[in-house]
Amino acid sequence: MIIVNNIKLNIEQPKEQAIAVAVKKLKLSKGEISKAFVHKMSVDARNGVKFVYSVGVHLADEKRENDFVGRDKDITVKQKQPLVIEKGDKLMENRPVICGIGPAGLFCALVLARQGFRPVVLEQGEDVDSRTRTVREFENTARLNISSNIQFGEGGAGTFSDGKLTTRIGDSRCEFVTDTLVEFGAPEEIKHIAKPHIGTDLLVNVIKNIRNEIIRLGGEVHFCTKLTDVNIKNGRVCSVVTSDGDIETDLLVMATGHSARDTFLMLKDKALVMEAKPFSVGVRIESLQTEIDKGLYHSLAGHPALPKGEYQLSHNTKGRGVYTFCMCPGGNVVAAASEENTVVVNGMSLHARDGRNANSAVVVSVTPDDFNGDFTRAIEFQRQLEKKAFAMGGKNYKAPAQTVDNFLNGKAGLNIKRVTPTYPIGVAECDMAELFPDHITRDLKNALPAMNRKLNGFAADDSVLTGVETRTSSPVRIIRGEDYQSNIKGIYPCGEGAGYAGGIMSAAVDGVRIAQQICSEYTVKN
């Protein structure tokens, strides 16, 4: 495929015009082209608002495509890279076990199932339909299920955070993940927009379809089944203990997600080599989506051709980064606690992104040095913030909240005007300075005005801060070698919880990577 990049059009021009520009630049006749289409589209709002297109072109004579290599800086030639599965020769005596059915576990299981390995998947939470009902019950009644919630259950934490697929990794497996999501029901547009998202409302059906395919191919998925122990013999896993009994296995893929704190401690007791890794803590900020659109698109805000405005902001202060994370246009703040008597917030959007508010995390980086490299201290730091947020909210799962003007001026409480908090259980007025260590409060106070200068309306006086955001990524990394195994053979740390991903796409890619490694080592009986 030939890709013509950097085609800029005003927002009134149709996408067909971008295709015409690409064909003209390639100096091709109609008969020489088998297919031309929009490959990617993004919005450039830096100097006026324009759409920026990349156009893909397939030639009738595919061999001629290489003639365009190096012809122009905006022309590239890309060969589709199929997923390569190497075949091992070591006989797998017992079926592989995968702990967790978030993006990493789901994609690892799918690839293994397609290769005949019939994986057994363990998930302490519920299937996605039951889980959705449980989450709604928590929002309505403040009765928390610690095994099935926004953190735990089919699809992982990403199920309730918009289904954003943006990633910084440049791995060819990303295309496989995207194609697979579309194959199982995601909108085709995720292949072509620069910042793809599925939306929580559509993602749930995609997840179910993949799970059903795993089962159709001979795999098993056990919901409400918790991994409680790992049995090791001669330095190698030989079986796992679950809440429903023991399972003999030759290998265990640990794809637990970033909130499986008790599992991390169990693995530490088994002498797995683990370390603290960087993560971040902070708040959710809610702003009017129309103000974000105005700040990005100016006089063109509200134009029907433009997507909902998205942002990614950062500010450095004395060595610590402050940045926005998991931005949800037209979305809601959600109740993401997974332990009793704690409050945790996250954000989500539906596919339409048609809510009144925009929200994102605004978080401050913390490092392993803050905890002397001890991941158990890092977990306890998260937990103490969550407990304090619970107490500040009134000990009833309401979340502490404060408007930006009051936070910056050292005044407790909410000065509600245009922005209404969306946290579903309700909010309690507070002073965020009482929640965080002094240096985090100071960094947030320095960063918010600076970020608002970059994007007017982001931190307006009546924007609402809700706490506490602690689950930006795993505080733990389970060390793995070049063979992707831990120091205990047969255990494959995988995905975000193990410290090797950050978001749906990179977690899914790591799941595929682990499956490829397993396939390259093992074979199964016919």
Residue 85 in any domain: the answer is no
Please give the Cα distance from 239 to 56 (Å, whole number): 49
pLDDT on residue 163: 64
Mean pLDDT over 322-338 rounds to 96
Give the strand pairing for 120-122 and 220-222.
parallel
User: Which of 49, 77, 105 marks a domain boundary?
Assistant: 77
Q: What CATH number should be reported for the domain holding residue 119? A: 3.50.50.60
Query: Would you state the pLDDT for residue 293?
Result: 97
What average pLDDT score do residues 304-321 get?
90
257-311 confidence digits (pLDDT tens): 999 999 999 999 999 999 999 999 999 999 999 999 999 999 999 999 999 999 9
| 83 lies in some domain | no
Domain final position from 77, 101, 128? 77
> Which of the listed ranges 169-183, 306-320, 488-502 does the model predict with the highest average pLDDT?
488-502
Rounded to the nearest 5 degrees, what angle is found at the Cα of 15, between the Cα atoms of 13 and 17? Answer: 65
Report which secondary-structure segment, H or E, holds 37. Answer: strand 33-44
Q: Are residues 120 and 259 in the same domain?
A: yes
pLDDT of residue 251: 97
Predicted local confidence at residue 409, as pLDDT? 97
How does pLDDT run across 244-258, given as a tens digit for each residue? 999 999 999 999 999
Q: What pLDDT, on the 0 to 100 scale, is given for residue 166?
A: 74
- 11 located within any domain: yes
Non-local CB neighbours of 269 within 8 Å, separated by 6+ positions = none
> And the tokens for 385?
């913030």
State whether residue 35 is helix, strand or coil: strand
In a domain, 376, yes or no: yes
Last-in-domain residue among 43, 77, 111: 77
Alpha-carbon span 254 to 191, nearest angstrom? 29
Same domain for 513 and 387?
no
Q: Give the helix/strand (H/E) hosting 403.
A: strand 399-403
Is 90's pLDDT higher than 80?
yes
pLDDT value, residue 165: 78
Round to whole Å and give the CA distance between 392 and 343.
9
pLDDT in tens, 467-501: 999 999 999 999 999 999 999 999 999 999 999 99
- The answer to whether residue 167 scores a pLDDT higher than 90 is no
- Short-list 295, 252, 274, 300, CA closest to 119: 252
Between helix 200-216 and helix 103-114 the angle, nearest 10°, is 30
Pair 304, 426 in one domain: yes
**How much of the chain is in helix, strand and coil states, percent to nearest 5?**
30, 25, 40
Assign 337 a pLDDT band (cuts: 50, 70, 90). very high
How far is the C-alpha of 305 from the C-alpha of 315, rounded, in Å?
Answer: 31
- Which residues of 205-244 form beta strands (DSSP E)? 220-222, 227-233, 236-242
Residue 92 CA to its chain's centroid (Å): 32
Same domain for 268 and 149, yes or no, is yes
* Residue 320, strand partner residues: 317
One domain for residues 264 and 283 = no
pLDDT of 162 higher than 70? no
> Could you tell me if 436 and 492 lie in one domain?
no
Residues 287 and 317 in one domain: yes
State which residues form the domain around 465.
278-469
Amino acid 525: pLDDT? 80
Q: pLDDT per residue over 353-380, tens digit each?
A: 999 999 999 999 999 999 999 999 999 9
In terms of C-beta density within 10 A (0-12 exposed, 13-18 middle, 19 or more buried), how is residue 16 classed? exposed
Q: Residue 46's pLDDT is what?
A: 85
Pull the structure tokens for residue 253: 């893929």
Judged against a pLDDT cut of 90, whether residue 158 lies above it is answered with no
Residues 235 and 355 in one domain: no
195/297 same-domain check:
no
Same domain as 269, residue 129: yes
User: Under 8 Å CB-to-CB from 234, ≥6 apart: which residues?
Assistant: none
In a domain, 169, yes or no: yes
Q: Are 148 and 264 contained in the same domain?
A: yes
Report the chain's mean pLDDT, rounded to a whole number.
Answer: 94
| Number of C-beta neighbours around residue 79 at 10 A | 10
The token pair at 80 is 């589709």
Arithmetic mean of pLDDT, 502-517: 95
Q: Distances in Å between the alpha carbon of 107 and those of 408, 513, 515, 519? A: 44, 9, 8, 14
Domain membership flag for residue 84: no
Residues 236 and 310 in one domain: no
Q: pLDDT for 41-65, tens place per residue?
A: 999 988 889 999 999 999 999 889 9
pTM higher than 0.85: yes
Give the total number of structural domains in the chain. 3
Q: What is the per-residue pLDDT for 494?
A: 98
Q: What is the mean pLDDT of residues 82-110?
A: 96
Strands (E), 11-61: 33-44, 50-59
d(CA 303, CA 437): 43
pLDDT over 70, % of the chain: 99
- Write the CATH number for 47: 3.30.70.2700
pLDDT higher at 370 or 167: 370
- The confidence score (pLDDT) of residue 59 equals 94
